[in-house]
Structure 1
Amino acid sequence: MKITAIPQLYRNLKRWREILAVLRRYGLADWLTQFRLPFRDAFKDHSGTPLSQYSREQRVRMALTELGPTFIKLGQLLAARPDLVGPSIAEELKRLRANVKPDTIEQVRATMREELGDDYEDVFRAIDPVPLATASIGQVHRATLIDGTPVVIKVQRQGIQRTIEQDVEVLSGLAQLAQRVDTLAAFSPTDMVRQLAPMITRELDFSRERQHLEVFDEMMTRTHSDVRIPKPYKQHCTRRVLVMDELVGTPLSQFLAKLDTPANDNQHDDETGDLPSTRLGDKQSICDRLSETIASVYLTMVFDEAFFHADPHLGNLIVLENGCLGILDFGMVGRIDENLRETIEEMLVAISTGDQNRLSRLVRRIGDAPPTLNESALSVDVADFIATYGRQDLGRFDLRSALNELSEILHRHAIKLPNQSALLMKMLISLEGTLRELGASFDSLDVVSTCMRKAMVKRLSPRRRLRQARRIYLETENFLEQAPDEVVSLIKQLRKGEVRLSLEHQRLGPTINRIVLGLMASAVFLGSSLMLAMQVPPLLFPQPTFASMQNISVLGLIGVIGSITVMMWLLIAINRSGHLTRGNDD
């Protein structure tokens, strides 16, 4: 850890102790589960259940939950990164839920007074004191504007900004420590925190979500008139308060449950205005229609707009009273540039045509491959992936399993995806799960194929070719303008002898340390042997004893024993690493 981090360490000392205590407890519990010891059940959860009875993935989730809102949000982000943590942990982290005590209505009103001014009560006729929903960063309340318009208010929890900023500092310090551990350094913890920390702090600014609502509302108005997005009231929104329309309807999870009720119950629901099922028809046709709408909306976001809602689970989708689809929670969205979108399109084409070589190249292009990547092993895994999923019929294609297996391949070969690619994969997996919950006789891959055909037509359109030619021309012009100056500068540096070649070693630290320690042990052994031979005082055994030992130098004896011990320890360590002989190079 750098010396500049000491003030941060001192400032967050209490939080450091709390975090390290939780990590130590769950870490020791994980270690003890490997042994049949009488005290392996010493660590227990809040209900008294021994932690050893939980799986490693469950203990990771429980530790993050106990550490609080920042780590819960971190876990939710890592749930979208199976390429970093592995599919098993990512799947378990999807169960993370913020089990936090909501702010009181007095605290909510205090926050609104700080953000909107003392006259905020002139804007709202009433605010429901019971939160409609509670999350790690904010909570949602129903309210009514002064003109009687029903709205919902998303208010940031008091003190959460300070807590997250403090935890992000601690996370940075933990990442620097983890980087020094060989087994953890493979995950590049400092890079991971550097990528994920801005995503956590970005959600503290509700004005970003307000902008997202405006953009998606305009998008749906243009592309899907039967989809509704909450409209924000810009004049009443700040960084910590978000006021928007209330979409009155039934969450998709409850909607599906009510579709299974008897007809009389459905008729009663219609009378109360709660569920429009009798007006929409039978369950199968309803599910088919909803599936087609949801898939069309999200694939349009990806292939046409390059801007997508990243969390399409059942709780964020509602069926409105008029039968339209509503989408909620735009705190997490993703953007993809034109190159990434074209690469994804090419990957889908490569899968459908069974082109494993092309898919291998695209996988390396879309992700950050390590220098030690085994391309032969990657090709074998990609070939097996295509053999499994590339020949499936449209009606039997399992998109969720395909994406999970692709994530496993990326994790196995340490290929890290950019944040937006990982968000896109998370969205597609969540979308597939939602469509499966609907249980409709609807083929998502058929819609994907339709979007692919549209995308290929768009790629071949004269307008796109003209735009691509213009971009290539501008880049070439810029290169030709800068190249002569760069060449002249390089020649001048060569003449002055100022050109330096920098080589960076990879993971040579332990090897160099062993070499240095071995040399030091050898030097101590040689010097100690000379001290024994020259009988350097203080001496043991002035008179001859057993085995004719006499005048043994104490310092020499200690040095010889110590150096032999170190050399034996080095030999055992090298043997355990599996690189003692040529036959263990693998």
Structure 2
Amino acid sequence: MKITAIPQLYRNLKRWREILAVLRRYGLADWMSQFQKLPFRDRIKDARGIPLSQYSREQRIRMALTDLGPTFIKFGQILAARPDLVGPELGQELKQLRANVAPDPIEKVRATLAHELGDDYLEHFQFIDPTALATASIGQVHRATLNDGRQVVIKVMRADIEKTMRQDTEVLAGVAQLAEHVEAFAAWGPCQMANQLSTMLRRELDFGRERQNLEFFAEMLAHRNDEVVIPKPVNGLCTKRVLVMDELVGETLSVFLHKHADPSICARLSETIASVYLTMIFDEGLFHADPHLGNLLLLSDGRLGILDFGMVGRIDENLRETIEEMMICVGKGDQNRLTRLIRRIGEAPATLNESALSVDVSEFVGTFGRQSLGDFNLTDALNELSGILHRHAIKLPNQSALLLKMLISIEGTLRELGASFDSMQIVRDFVRKSMLSSLSPRRRIRQARRIYLEAENFFEVAPDEVLTLLQQARRGEMKLVLEHQRIGPTVNRMVLGLMASAVFLGSSVLLAMNVPPVLFQEATYLGIERLSLLGAIGIVGSIAVMMWLLIAINRSGHLTRSRDE
């Protein structure tokens, strides 16, 4: 840890203690769960009195994040969208994270509104409901009525949430720095991951971004106003910490399915949802990233309402083309091409076992690429693909991971509606559409223009770079850096072995010269006489170190065979 991080560590010392206490509690329960006959195995319990050892590891992680507070709940929700990092099982469990926090009292809400909208903010409203309509980790929602009678909802950021999350992100950055020194975690790039999560969290702390997203999606879907409704923000009353928008009158699809699921309405909603989200992905390259049943409403006039645009995914042209190629590969069963595309779209570690990856991809294509249309399950296929990425430590770009999560959520939503949603038929229809569009003159011209611009940039930059290298070589400033992977532990063991050998030899001299202080002034029954105390301690210590080194090398599997065998 850098010296410059010490002030942050001191400033967040209390929070560090709280976090370590929670992690110690759940970590101890996780350790005890491995021993069925441990007498005090069930001593640590949750709030309902159920022993923590009876929960699965994924459940304990979710519970720990819940106990750590709003920031870590939000981090868990973000990680739920990254099954390539945490694995499908933990990703599925983290989807259940909900902020179990009491809403801020209305006095704090009014103070925030006065600070953001001015002390005269009440002049804009006829009525503000003091009871929160909904509460989340970052904000809470209240119903209100504008002076012109317009029914709206006010999304207000929780008091002091920025300070709490800034403190927790600093703590998380410190944990990531420590994790960089653990080989098992270093392959995932903990510091880079923490920075990405912190960036996503800062975006969600700016309601101005959500206001822009609402306006953009409303414009994108304007031609479908008879089917889909996006809440319209009240621009004059929106700030970074306050978002005022139209209230959508209806019930969430989760409530609708629980009360009365009309098959005809479900079929119509399924068709609308599938059409809207496929249009977002493949026509616009911008999509709503969290389409679960709680964010989709059946309005009183029968239209579909979409809520919560705080998390939005974008797909650029290159990523869209790669996704199209991957779908074509799955449809055709081309595992070799699919393996190369996975390596292209993700960030593979230096230690990637390409043979094992090829085998996993071949099994994936063999399982899902040749299934009949009625048997194909897109969710299972995407979860299996996430598992392959996780096993081989291949990290996806944020936008690709959001798309993966959105596709899983959308099919889960459509299956909840009981629709006859044939995933493979849609994939194959899209494959045919993609193959035709790939041959269109417009797309070829666009690709040629992009290649021309990249080549032009290369030929502009390359001469300067070559001249710079030649000048550095002429001045003798060119350096060649060779880096050996995992050489640190090897060097440390070598140095420790040399030091132990030196101590052993030195201690042998002390014993031979009877250097005081000495033990046993007279001969004992073993014949030991005038034994140098320092020499004896050195001999025992050096032998212990040598034995420890021998055990460590043996455990690594490199004592009698090379790493490549």
TM-score higher than 0.5:
yes
Instruction: Give runs of ≥4 in structure 1 deviating > 6 Å.
Output: none
Q: Is the 8 A contact 1:43 1:51 kept in 2?
A: yes
Q: Is the 8 A contact 1:30 1:52 kept in 2?
A: yes
- Amino acid corresponding to residue 19 of structure 2 in structure 1: I
Matched with 1:263 is none
Q: Is the 8 A contact 1:61 1:96 kept in 2?
A: yes
SS of residue paired to 1:118: coil
Equivalent residue runs for 1:143-182 within 5 Å: 143-182=144-183
* Shift in alpha-carbon separation, 1:222–1:379, aligned structure 2, 3 A: same
Matched with 1:197 is 198
Q: How far apart, CA to CA, are the structure 2 residues paired with 1:111 and 1:47?
A: 35
* Shift in alpha-carbon separation, 1:31–1:508, aligned structure 2, 3 A: farther
Q: Is the 8 A contact 1:111 1:155 kept in 2?
A: yes
Q: How far apart, CA to CA, are the structure 1 residues paired with 2:480 and 2:226?
A: 60
Q: How far apart, CA to CA, are the structure 1 residues paired with 2:369 and 2:324?
A: 15
The alpha carbon displacement at 1:526 in A equals 1.1
1:289 corresponds to 2:245: no
Equivalent residue runs for 1:418-567 within 5 Å: 418-567=397-546
Q: How far apart, CA to CA, are the structure 2 residues paired with 1:100 and 1:504?
A: 49
| TM-score, scaled to structure 2 | 0.97
Matched with 2:66 is 65
Matched with 1:55 is 56
SS of residue paired to 2:221: helix
The alpha carbon displacement at 1:223 in A equals 5.6
The alpha carbon displacement at 1:536 in A equals 2.1
SS of residue paired to 2:374: helix
Q: How far apart, CA to CA, are the structure 2 residues paired with 1:48 and 1:504?
A: 53
Q: Is the 8 A contact 1:165 1:201 kept in 2?
A: no
- Amino acid corresponding to residue 412 of structure 1 in structure 2: R
Q: Is the 8 A contact 2:207 2:241 kept in 1?
A: yes
- Amino acid corresponding to residue 140 of structure 2 in structure 1: Q
Equivalent residue runs for 1:311-330 within 5 Å: 311-330=290-309
Q: How far apart, CA to CA, are the structure 2 residues paired with 1:444 and 1:365?
A: 25
Q: How far apart, CA to CA, are the structure 1 residues paired with 2:310 and 2:370?
A: 37
Equivalent residue runs for 1:395-414 within 5 Å: 395-414=374-393
* Shift in alpha-carbon separation, 1:200–1:427, aligned structure 2, 3 A: same
Q: Is the 8 A contact 1:306 1:336 kept in 2?
A: yes
1:9 corresponds to 2:9: yes
Q: Is the 8 A contact 2:415 2:421 kept in 1?
A: no
Q: Is the 8 A contact 1:295 1:444 kept in 2?
A: no
The 10-residue stretch of structure 1 (455-464 or 60-69) with the greater mean CA deviation from structure 2: 455-464
- Identity across aligned pairs (percent)? 71
Q: How far apart, CA to CA, are the structure 2 residues paired with 1:551 and 1:157?
A: 76
- Amino acid corresponding to residue 19 of structure 1 in structure 2: I
Q: Is the 8 A contact 2:517 2:532 kept in 1?
A: yes
SS of residue paired to 1:394: coil
The alpha carbon displacement at 1:575 in A equals 1.7
Q: Is the 8 A contact 1:288 1:442 kept in 2?
A: no
What is the aligned length?
564
The alpha carbon displacement at 1:86 in A equals 1.3
Q: How far apart, CA to CA, are the structure 2 residues paired with 1:168 and 1:29?
A: 26
Q: How far apart, CA to CA, are the structure 1 residues paired with 2:386 and 2:450?
A: 33
The alpha carbon displacement at 1:584 in A equals 7.3
1:81 corresponds to 2:82: yes
Q: Is the 8 A contact 1:303 1:451 kept in 2?
A: no
The alpha carbon displacement at 1:509 in A equals 2.5
Matched with 1:249 is 250
Q: 1:333 aligns with which of 288, 312, 320?
A: 312
Q: Is the 8 A contact 2:327 2:427 kept in 1?
A: no
Q: How far apart, CA to CA, are the structure 2 residues paired with 1:142 and 1:84?
A: 38
The alpha carbon displacement at 1:234 in A equals 0.8
| TM-score, scaled to structure 1 | 0.93
- Amino acid corresponding to residue 359 of structure 1 in structure 2: L
Q: Is the 8 A contact 2:87 2:386 kept in 1?
A: yes
The alpha carbon displacement at 1:456 in A equals 3.7
Matched with 1:279 is none
Q: How far apart, CA to CA, are the structure 1 residues paired with 2:116 and 2:166?
A: 20
Q: How far apart, CA to CA, are the structure 2 residues paired with 1:549 and 1:320?
A: 95
Q: How far apart, CA to CA, are the structure 2 residues paired with 1:295 and 1:507?
A: 48
- Amino acid corresponding to residue 188 of structure 1 in structure 2: G
Q: How far apart, CA to CA, are the structure 1 residues paired with 2:184 and 2:338?
A: 30
- Amino acid corresponding to residue 126 of structure 2 in structure 1: R
Matched with 2:333 is 354
Matched with 1:280 is none
Q: Is the 8 A contact 2:290 2:311 kept in 1?
A: yes
The alpha carbon displacement at 1:224 in A equals 6.4
* Shift in alpha-carbon separation, 1:504–1:194, aligned structure 2, 3 A: farther
1:345 corresponds to 2:348: no
The alpha carbon displacement at 1:538 in A equals 2.2
Q: How far apart, CA to CA, are the structure 2 residues paired with 1:165 and 1:393?
A: 50
- Amino acid corresponding to residue 32 of structure 2 in structure 1: L
Q: Is the 8 A contact 1:318 1:327 kept in 2?
A: yes
Matched with 1:273 is none
Matched with 1:265 is none
Q: How far apart, CA to CA, are the structure 2 residues paired with 1:257 and 1:554?
A: 80
The 10-residue stretch of structure 1 (387-396 or 452-461) with the greater mean CA deviation from structure 2: 452-461
SS of residue paired to 1:250: strand
Deviation digits for residues 158-195 of structure 1, max 9, x if unmatched?
Answer: 11111001100010011112222333334332121011
Q: Is the 8 A contact 2:331 2:428 kept in 1?
A: no
Across the aligned residues of Structure 1 and Structure 2, the Cα RMSD in angstroms comes to: 1.6
Q: How far apart, CA to CA, are the structure 2 residues paired with 1:371 and 1:116?
A: 52
1:40 corresponds to 2:41: yes
- Amino acid corresponding to residue 151 of structure 1 in structure 2: V
1:368 corresponds to 2:369: no
Q: Is the 8 A contact 1:514 1:570 kept in 2?
A: yes
* Shift in alpha-carbon separation, 1:100–1:137, aligned structure 2, 3 A: same
Deviation digits for residues 535-556 of structure 1, max 9, x if unmatched?
Answer: 2222222332223222222111
SS of residue paired to 1:102: coil
Deviation digits for residues 87-133 of structure 1, max 9, x if unmatched?
Answer: 11111111100001101112111111110001111111001111111
Q: Is the 8 A contact 2:140 2:155 kept in 1?
A: yes
* Shift in alpha-carbon separation, 1:377–1:45, aligned structure 2, 3 A: same
The alpha carbon displacement at 1:585 in A equals 5.8
Matched with 1:232 is 233
The 10-residue stretch of structure 1 (452-461 or 508-517) with the greater mean CA deviation from structure 2: 452-461
Q: Is the 8 A contact 2:510 2:532 kept in 1?
A: yes
1:582 corresponds to 2:561: yes
Q: How far apart, CA to CA, are the structure 2 residues paired with 1:538 and 1:437?
A: 82
Q: Is the 8 A contact 1:73 1:136 kept in 2?
A: yes
Q: How far apart, CA to CA, are the structure 2 residues paired with 1:570 and 1:585?
A: 21
- Amino acid corresponding to residue 16 of structure 1 in structure 2: W
Q: Is the 8 A contact 2:187 2:349 kept in 1?
A: no
Q: How far apart, CA to CA, are the structure 1 residues paired with 2:258 and 2:167?
A: 42
Deviation digits for residues 195-227 of structure 1, max 9, x if unmatched?
Answer: 111111210100000000000000111466411
Structure 1 unaligned residues grouped into runs of 5+:
261-282
The alpha carbon displacement at 1:583 in A equals 7.1
The alpha carbon displacement at 1:519 in A equals 1.1
The 10-residue stretch of structure 1 (360-369 or 511-520) with the greater mean CA deviation from structure 2: 511-520
Q: Is the 8 A contact 1:299 1:448 kept in 2?
A: no
SS of residue paired to 1:544: coil
SS of residue paired to 2:526: helix
